[in-house]
Amino acid sequence: MKRRREIEWRVYPPKKKPFAFSNGDDVLVKSKDGKTTYRGKIRLEDLLQAKQELKKAATDEEQLSNPGSKDQATNCDSKATPAVDGRSSFSPKSSSNVSVVLSKDQTVLQLSKKEQSRRLLPSFALQTPNIVVTPETNFFRILAKQVTAEDRVLEIGCSTGETSKLLVPPNSASWVGLDTSEQMMEQCKTTIGKKRWNEDTCHVTVVDALVDPIKAKQECTIHGAVTVVFIDIGGNRECIGVLRMLSWVLETFDQHLRLIVVKSRELAQSIQASASVGEGTGLVENGNEWFAKHRKKRAFPKHPLKAPMATSPKGMPICRYYNYHKEGCSKADCPYDHEYCHFCLKQGHIARNCPTLIDDDDTTVVLDSPEVVVEKETKKS
C-alpha cells in the first residue's frame, strides 16, 4: 500500500478549555462581537521573557546569599514546559495571558484566560494535513471557519445547505456539494441563495461516491484538486459508511488534501474510548495506526450479511459472502456481483484482501470473529 503523508488526527472540541497552544501555533481569533474571525500566531516571547527575568532575579538572589552556587543555578531549568518539537509549550496554568500576532497587520492582542476560552480557536492543518472528527453538527459548522479563501472545498452530504453557506466563496476559492438526494440538492441551492451562487465556483450534484466513485471523482475535481473535505453523511449508529467514505477520500484526493472534517458521533466516541487523546489539544496519539486498526475491525463483519448492502459501479449488489466469508461464495450461479471489492469498490480483489484494509507489514489479519482469519496473498515473483 502506498505510503501516505503523515496525517494528524484530532477530536474537536478538546475536553479542556482554553486549548493548549504552543509558541508559533496558527490560531483563529474571533472579534469581540464574534462576527469576524482573524488569523494569527501565538507568541509566547512575552511569557518566556517574563520567566527569564524571574529566573535571573532568582539567580541573582541566590548568588548574593551563596556565591559558590553560580553553575548550579544557571544549569537549573526554569519552569517552562519542555517542548515536544523544540518549541516551548504554553500551559494555561502557567500564565493567564497569551499574545496573538494578527496576520493581517501584525497587531498584537493580549488575551486573558477567559477571553481565550471565548475567542481563540486552533487553526488546523496549515502545515500538516489534519483529519478532525467532531460529534455534533454545531461544532462541524464552527469548523467551517478553518477554510481559507485559497481552499477548494468538497462537502459530502451537503443536505439543506446550512453548512454549505459557510463554505462557499468568498470564504473559499470553490465549493462542490454532493448528496444522494435530489430534493436536498435543490434545497441546498436555495439556502446558499442566488446572490452567493456563482456558476464558475459553485457546483452541486447528486452522486454517491460509494456507488459511483468514478463519476464522483470527476464531479469533485471540476474546479481542480480538492484541498478541504467536509463529510457528514448522517447516521450515528453505524460508522462503517463514514469509514468507507473517508477511505475513498484519502485514496482519491491524497496529494493535495490539507484538512478533512468528519461529523460522526460514533467515530468521535470510539476515538475517545480507545485512543489516547490530548485533553487540551484533541490530538490523537498515533492516529493513523488507530484508524487502520479500527477500520479493519469495523470493516470485517462477524457474519457476511452483517456488512451493509453495497452496489457495484455497474449497479449490481455486491456479494457479501464472496467478499467476507472465509470460504467465499458457495452459490454456483450467484446472481450478485463477484467483480468489485465490497469495501473500496475497486476491481480485482475481494474485501478480505483489500489493500486499503491491509498494511504492508501485515501477513495475517486476525479479526474479531474467530472463524474469519484473512491470509494476505503473498506476492509471487
What track of x and - describes contact with Zn ion for positions 336 through 355 (by CB under 5 A)? x----x-xx---------x-
Of 168, 246, 319, 365, the one binding Zn ion (CB under 5 A) is: 319
322 binds, among Zn ion, ligand SAM, none (CB under 5 to 8 A by kind): Zn ion
162 binds, among ligand SAM, Zn ion, none (CB under 5 to 8 A by kind): ligand SAM
In whole angstroms, give the CA distance from residue 46 to residue 157. Answer: 45
CA atoms within 13 A of residue 196's CA, in its CB half-sphere: 19
Grid coordinates in use for 185? Answer: 440538492
- Smallest gap from Cβ 251 to ligand SAM, in A, equals 15
Binding positions for ligand SAM, 105-144, rule CB under 6 A: 137
- Smallest gap from Cβ 347 to Zn ion, in A, equals 9
Nearest residue to 230 (alpha-carbon basis) of 317, 125, 127, 329:
125
232 binds, among Zn ion, ligand SAM, none (CB under 5 to 8 A by kind): ligand SAM
- Smallest gap from Cβ 353 to Zn ion, in A, equals 8
Of 26, 162, 186, 359, the one binding ligand SAM (CB under 6 A) is: 162
Of 123, 146, 159, 227, the one binding ligand SAM (CB under 6 A) is: 159
Residue 242 engages ligand SAM in binding (rule: CB under 6 A): no
- Smallest gap from Cβ 317 to Zn ion, in A, equals 10
Residue 157 engages ligand SAM in binding (rule: CB under 6 A): yes
Interacting stretch for ligand SAM, rule CB under 6 A, among 126-134, 155-163, 326-334, 373-381?
Answer: 155-163
- Smallest gap from Cβ 248 to ligand SAM, in A, equals 10
Residue 163 engages ligand SAM in binding (rule: CB under 6 A): yes
Residue 1 engages Zn ion in binding (rule: CB under 5 A): no
Task: State which residue has the least CB distance to ligand SAM.
Answer: 157
Q: Which is nearer to ligand SAM, 47 or 233 (CB)?
A: 233
Residue 202 engages ligand SAM in binding (rule: CB under 6 A): no
Q: What b/e sequence results for 29-51 when a residue is b if at least 16 CB atoms lie within 10 Å of its CB, and e otherwise?
A: bbeeeeeeebbbbbbbeebeeeb
Q: Which is nearer to Zn ion, 28 or 357 (CB)?
A: 357
319 binds, among Zn ion, ligand SAM, none (CB under 5 to 8 A by kind): Zn ion
**Cα 285 to Cα 21, 162, 256, distances in angstroms:** 17, 32, 23
Of 8, 26, 329, 376, the one binding Zn ion (CB under 5 A) is: 329
Of 181, 201, 221, 311, the one binding ligand SAM (CB under 6 A) is: 181
Q: Give the residues lining the site for ligand SAM (CB under 6 A).
A: 137, 156-157, 159-160, 162-163, 178-181, 184, 208, 210, 232-234
Query: Would you tell me which residues interact with Zn ion (CB under 5 A)?
Result: 319, 322, 329, 334, 336, 341, 343-344, 354
